[in-house]
Chain A
Amino acid sequence: MIKAKRFLMYLFLCIVSFISVFPLYWMVSAATNKSADVVSGRLVPGTNFLENWRNLMANQNVGGAFVNSFKYAAILTIISLVVSSLAGYGFEIYHDKAKDTVMSIILLAMMVPFVATMIPLFRMFSSAGWLNTTIGFILPSISTPFLIMMFRQSARSFPHDIMEAARIDGLSEIRIFFQMFIPTMRSTYAAAMTITFMNAWNNYLWPKVIMTDADSQTMPMVVANLTQGYVTDYGMLMLAVLICTLPTAIVFFCLQNAFAEGITGAVK
């Protein structure tokens, strides 16, 4: 009875895991096969990878889009981490009633759906000449209530007597932040970094709105472009999907625990 139950539990987990992994396996395998083979149901990796690669490069500016996506995501991540952690630190370490009120107003911004701000932001950015620019991409997502809250939570565990000691030693407040807070909170920063980088890389709606030039397009946009034709070359399409997934998959595998902590981070 107990054995049968355990068996069913493992069977259930295996089925769920299979369903979770299979579409990704199919993507990798399709990226190495001819479109005709993919359609006929071939499920093992093939030898058409280079051909797909050549077709893809001839069809879309993948290299440019990849560099764009990486540039936007990397710059956004660095600035966002500094600005948000500084704010979270400021809210917690020097907290008083007024700052707590400001914090609860900021939390309300979590409820504002992006579509509700998208049109005014587009108008604002296009009159400022920020269409097709990095600043246009990053500005709306530099400071997020989620990250501020996450760093505010982690600043709570920053030992107060260390701060006092540093102050007596004559360290300025900003140096305490950069030289003591950041190194101690390395794991929070890793979590915040993975979540910010992944969100930036995967963002689709905002770049679709402001990146009107073909040269400024991001990787998800290129993938979406490839589905527009009447006949789909599955080998080429899945190779593009694979390239688009690779950076986030690498981050996922290297920093899985940090990522898990990142999405749940502000909650604890």
Chain B
Amino acid sequence: MNSKKKMTLSKKHNLTGWVFLFPGAFLIFMMSFVPMIQALLLSFKTGVGAAMKSCGVTNYVRMFQDAVFVQSIKNTFFYLIIQVPIMLIFALILASILNNKNLRFKGLFRTMIFLPCATSLVAYAVIFRSLFANNGLINLVLVNLGILDQPYSFLTHMWSARIVIIIALLWRWTGYNMVFYLSGLQNIEYSVYEAAKIDGASAAQTFFKITVPLLKPTILLTAIMSTNGTLQLFDESVNLTDGGPANASITMSHYIYNMSFKYVPNFGYAAAMSFLILILVAVLAFLQMKVGDKRD
């Protein structure tokens, strides 16, 4: 009798759990997985609106012959390969300096370095666009210091436009990643560092032998997040360089947006390109997890 009552109670609780998680789970299902499958189906179609018809893998063949899309893949990977490692190493160094117990004004430094995260992506892109403009402050300073004879048009030259995007990304996201490392470092007993000091370990040794190995899970997480974010870069490309000059700094998401909403809409082709990003995100995350596991 008693056990039967317990059974029904645990069944009731089991059901309550499903009721509680249902709205959240259902929304994720409807807003992520269903559209994802629709995008996959759409990627095999061509045309506009109700007149869409099946076209096999034409869209997938087309995107590798599309010079602008190939350029956008190259740009996105350029940002990924140059910016993410620099940012993560820099964030790690800053976090380990700020973790020092004897450091003064620690909170102030942390707040200031973290501050760029308070700006919206559009806002900081516009600020950097203005700073690096022809008549912007950077040119003014460089000309006045005699480094440049006349203002250099950073945003209309291929390589400088890409580098400005990288500088802006570093400015916005280094503090963000630093916060992850700081919170990870708090879980490491400070006595470990004191013991290393007594044993005569140098700062570099402490960094590579203690900090990096113990923070490995956090480093892996930030690497996956940054990769994911970089592959989806949009706001910066639109508002800082407008993808220019001549698509030299355009990102994949920006081109997909243009293809869907700026030019004559081609949803099938855009969906095929967006599916490639999905595959890239999944493959890179998988690779990073594999590499992360190996070093154990």
Q: Which A residues fall within an 8 A CB radius of B?
A: 9, 12-13, 16-17, 19-21, 23-24, 26-27, 30, 39-41, 83-84, 86-91, 93-96, 99, 102, 106, 109, 111-124, 139-140, 142-145, 148, 173-174, 177, 201-202, 204-205, 208-209, 219-221, 223-224, 226-227, 232, 234, 237-238, 241, 244-245, 248-249, 251-253, 256, 259-261, 263-264, 267-268
Contacts and interface: CB of A to CB of B under 8 A. Distances in A.
B205 to A, nearest CB: 15
A93 B23 contact: no
Interface in B157-189: 171, 175-176, 179-180, 182-183
A115 B115 contact: no
A20 B112 contact: yes
B33 interface: yes
A177 B21 CA distance: 13
26 contacts: A9-B103, A12-B97, A23-B124, A23-B171, A24-B116, A30-B130, A39-B135, A87-B20, A87-B21, A90-B24, A93-B17, A94-B13, A109-B28, A113-B274, A113-B281, A115-B234, A117-B36, A120-B34, A120-B38, A205-B234, A205-B257, A224-B122, A244-B123, A252-B115, A267-B218, A268-B183
B20 to A, nearest CB: 3
Given A87-B24, A245-B120, A111 B285 contact: yes
Interface string B245-261: 00000001100110011
8 closest A-B pairs by CB: A94-B17, A87-B24, A90-B20, A90-B21, A120-B38, A252-B118, A117-B35, A202-B120
Nearest to B267: A119
Given A41-B137, A111-B285, A205-B235, A13 B109 contact: yes
Contacts, number: 260
Interface residues of B, number: 87
Interface of B: 13-14, 16-25, 27-28, 31-36, 38-39, 42, 94, 97-98, 103, 108-109, 111-124, 126-131, 133, 135, 137, 140-141, 144, 171, 175-176, 179-180, 182-183, 218, 221, 228, 231-232, 234-235, 238-239, 252-253, 256-257, 260-261, 267, 270-271, 274-275, 277-278, 281-282, 285
A86 B130 contact: no
A9 B175 CA distance: 17
Contacts of A227: 126, 129, 239
Contacts of A106: 25, 28
Contacts of B98: 13
User: Chain B contact residues: over half helix, strand or loop, or mixed?
Assistant: helix
A13 to B, nearest CB: 5
B115 A241 contact: no
Contact of A143 (B23, B128, B144): B23
Nearest to A141: B31
Contacts of A252: 115, 117-118
Contact of B123 (A90, A220, A261): A220
A177 B261 CA distance: 43
B127 to A, nearest CB: 5
A237 to B, nearest CB: 7
Contacts of A251: 118
A32 B285 CA distance: 45
Contact of A220 (B20, B103, B120): B120
Given A113-B274, A115-B277, A142-B27, A99 B35 contact: no
Nearest to A221: B122
Contacts of B20: 86-87, 89-90, 94, 173, 177
Contact of B253 (A90, A205, A245): A205
Contacts of A23: 116, 124, 127-128, 131, 171
A256 B103 CA distance: 20
B230 to A, nearest CB: 11
Contact of A111 (B129, B171, B228): B228
B239 A111 contact: no
A119 B270 contact: yes
B286 to A, nearest CB: 9
B160 to A, nearest CB: 18
